[in-house]
Amino acid sequence: MTDRPILLVLGDSLAFHGPQRPEPADEPRLWPNVAAAALGGRAEIAAGTGWTARHAWHALTSDPRVWAVLPSVEALVLGVGGMDSLPSPLPTALRELIPTLRPEPLRRMARHAYLRAQPPLARAFAATLPRGGPVALPPRLSVRYLERCRAAVHAVRPGLPVVAVVPPPHRAACYASVHVGRAAAERATRAWARAAGVALLDLPALVGAHVLGGHGNPDGMHWGWEAHAAVGAECAALLRARGH
């Protein structure tokens, strides 16, 4: 066991994806580890590709690794919300069911069809449907799950510092660079954070120029190490300001 403070991060792939590929959770350049190191501690990262606020809630309530570490954590970071605001022209449930399809040729065919259809549909929905069409998780549900996470943790650990994130921008070709849902998601997140007393990492301010300028991962969504360093440093600063 270690006496170093623990930073629990519930995140999406931005928590563990670098400029070229996904990285092991102990890669020191990942922003959760940058933040934890700046605070003299270590990060526990529970995250997955495509995770939304609903996935974070499920991790908090269903993952025994999270239960084990929760009594010892010094702060909670809800690093989800970016995926929630992405276009979802095809049902999210369909995407999540693709890995379960059998036999393997059918699975490959379904994945290929999904990925091929997503960009033109996202573009068409953004141009024709009210509010740009469906997103992976509507803002009202995103903040509902974020609040569930906050309330559940504070029921066990009253007063534990909680940090959430403002949904970041992207320029991903797999979504045809469409992100019409981000503004509504940001408004809902900021309103919830004010009401709940949660600090916010302003990801658009921290990584917007980096991502939109093409300085991050070629996928147009994930970050380079410069952005990870900036986000980690700001996360640590927010927690220091809260007496961490």
Widest Cα–Cα separation across the chain: 56
AA letter at 227: A
Segment holding 193, helix H or strand E: helix 182-196
Q: Which residues contact 63 (CB under 8 A, 6 or more apart)?
A: 46
pTM: 0.94
What CATH class has 6-86+138-241?
alpha beta
pLDDT digit string (tens) for the chain, length 244 residues: 456 889 999 999 999 999 999 999 999 999 999 999 999 999 999 999 999 999 999 999 999 999 999 999 999 999 999 999 999 988 878 888 999 999 999 999 999 999 999 999 999 999 999 889 999 999 999 999 999 999 999 999 999 999 999 999 999 999 999 999 999 999 999 999 999 999 999 999 999 999 999 999 999 999 999 999 999 999 999 999 987 6
Domain limits, the chain: 6-86+138-241, 89-134
